[in-house]
Structure 1
C-alpha cells in the first residue's frame, strides 16, 4: 500500500479495502506512525440487499455477512488493540448500523453486528478508557449503492411471496417511494460531538425514524416482559 498522502496540517487520506485484513492492519499501523496513536474509529463500511430471508441466495447473504459482520469485526478488534496501546490508553469507537437493526424489518434481515458490539462494550477493561457507541441511522442518502437508487439493491421477490398484502412486498413499495431526508452534514456534526463526550451513550439513534423505532422497540420489550412474566 502506498504511503499516506498528507493534505493540510495533520490530515492523511489512506485507501482501505475492509475485505482485506492486511490493509486494515496497515492503516492502523500507518495512523500510529503518523499521529502516535488512534483516537477515534468510525466503523462505517457496509452493503445492503433487500429480499426475503427465505429467498436470499447464499452468495448474496454470505457477501453481506462478510462485510457487515466479519470485516466489521476485524476493524473492531484492531481498534481495541490500538486504543489500548495509546499513551495514555483510550479512544472512541463508533459502530455504524441502521434502524433496520432495531426494527423487525421484512426484507432486510441480514443483521448481526449489534450483539458483537454489545459484548465488546462489556469486555473492555475500565482502565483502557475505550468508549463504544452503536449508531442506529435512519434514512440518509449516502450514495452507498449506485446513488441510493432502491432498484439497484432490491432483488426479485421469492416465488412464494408475491401477494401484495405480505409485509415484504409492502416494504419493497416503501423502498421505491421512501423519503430519504436525513441531513448528512448534521449527522456528521453529531458523530463529531460524540467523540468529545466523557460518557457517550452506548446506543444512539439518529433521524426521527430511528428515534421512533427505538422508542417503539423499548415499549414492545416492556410490554412483552410485563405480559408474559411468570
Structure 2
C-alpha cells in the first residue's frame, strides 16, 4: 500500500451526490486522483472543468451491470495503472411496510445494494491482487449503514441488503491472504444529509397497517419533516481519514445516532446472552462429551 502522503488513486461509485460526491471533492482537494463513477456522469461536469485528466476520470457506471463494472476497472487501469482505494458507495433505498413492498421493489434494492456491490468488490479484490504491484494491496471501503447492524421499521429490504453486505464482507475479509495487503472496512453510517432520503420511494401503505400508533406508521407520518442530523461533508472527511490508517477496523460506525443505536442493540444482546446462557450448556452430543473428557 502506498504511503498516505503519496498521491493515491481512488475508485468511487455513486459520486453524483451525497457521500460519493463529497468524498470525491475532498480527495481531489487533497491532491489525489479519482475515478468517479455515476449513472449520469454529466453531473460531475464542474469538477471535470476544474481538474486535469491525470487527476480525475469520470465514467458512466451502473453497478448492477457486471460488464460495465469490469469495463470501468479496465479504464481505470488504462488511465492510472493502479488503484489504491475502492469505495463501494452507490446504493438505493425504498421504504414501506414489509407486506406493502412487492418483489420488484425489494429485488431492485438487493440488486443494487448487494449484488451491484458484489460485482464491484470482486473486481476490486482482483485488481488489488493482480494488477497493482505485488504486495501493494489496496483499501476497500464498503458503504454499509447502521441499518446493516440494527433493523428498523419501514426499511426491511434496505436493512436486508445491508445485513447481507455485512455478512459477506465479514466472511471474505477472513479469507484474504495477509500477503496481499488488502484492508477492508465497513462504513456503518447513521442518518446523514445525502440524497437517500429524497430518493427513497415509498410503497403504498398496506391496509392492515392503518394503526397510527404502529412504529412503521409513525415513520411514514414523520418522514417528510425528518431532518437527517449528519453533515455529509464531515462524514466524508472521516471516511477519508479511515482510508489512511495503517490498520483500519473492519467495522466503523459513523455518526452519533449510529453509535447510540448500535450500543443499544449490543447492550440488549449482552443481556440475552447472560440470561439464556444456561440454555445452551450441556447440549453437546455424547461423542463430543467423551472427546472432551479424553482430552
Q: Which residue of 2 aligns with 1:116?
A: 168
1:33-112 matches, cutoff 5 A: 33-85=78-130, 86-89=132-135, 90-110=137-157, 111=160, 112=164
Q: Deviations over 1:27-84 (max 9, x none)?
A: 1111122222111110011111111222211110111111111111111111110111
- In structure 2, relative to structure 1, the CA distance for the partners of 1:173 and 1:68 (3 Å cut) is same
Backbone CA RMSD of aligned residues: 1.7
SS at match of 2:156: coil
Q: Choose which of 144, 162, 180 in structure 1 pairs with 2:228.
A: 180
1:156-171 matches, cutoff 5 A: 156-171=204-219
Given the alignment of the two structures, is residue 25 of structure 1 paired with residue 70 of structure 2, yes or no? yes
Q: Choose which of 181, 198, 222 in structure 1 pairs with 2:246.
A: 198
Unaligned runs of 5+ in 1: none
Q: Which residue of 2 aligns with 1:228?
A: 276
Determine the C-alpha separation between the residues in 1 that align with 2:206 and 2:268.
Answer: 29
Unaligned runs of 5+ in 2: 1-47, 279-295
SS at match of 1:176: coil
Contact persistence 2:100–2:203 (CA under 8 A)? no
CA-CA distance at 1:137 after TM superposition: 1.2
Larger radius of gyration: 2
Determine the C-alpha separation between the residues in 1 that align with 2:148 and 2:225.
Answer: 21
SS at match of 1:120: helix
TM-score of the superposition, structure 2-length normalised? 0.71
CA-CA distance at 1:88 after TM superposition: 3.2
CA-CA distance at 1:132 after TM superposition: 0.7
SS at match of 1:123: coil
Determine the C-alpha separation between the residues in 2 that align with 1:153 and 1:55.
Answer: 12
Determine the C-alpha separation between the residues in 1 that align with 2:57 and 2:173.
Answer: 29
CA-CA distance at 1:174 after TM superposition: 3.7
Determine the C-alpha separation between the residues in 1 that align with 2:220 and 2:149.
Answer: 18
Contact persistence 2:186–2:251 (CA under 8 A)? yes
SS at match of 1:135: strand
CA-CA distance at 1:196 after TM superposition: 0.8
Determine the C-alpha separation between the residues in 2 that align with 1:29 and 1:187.
Answer: 29
Q: Deviations over 1:175-222 (max 9, x none)?
A: 233221211111111111111101111111111111111211221221
Determine the C-alpha separation between the residues in 2 that align with 1:175 and 1:203.
Answer: 28
SS at match of 1:160: helix
Q: Which residue of 1 aligns with 2:186?
A: 134
SS at match of 1:177: coil
Q: Which residue of 1 aligns with 2:198?
A: 149
TM-score of the superposition, structure 1-length normalised? 0.90
Aligned residues: 222
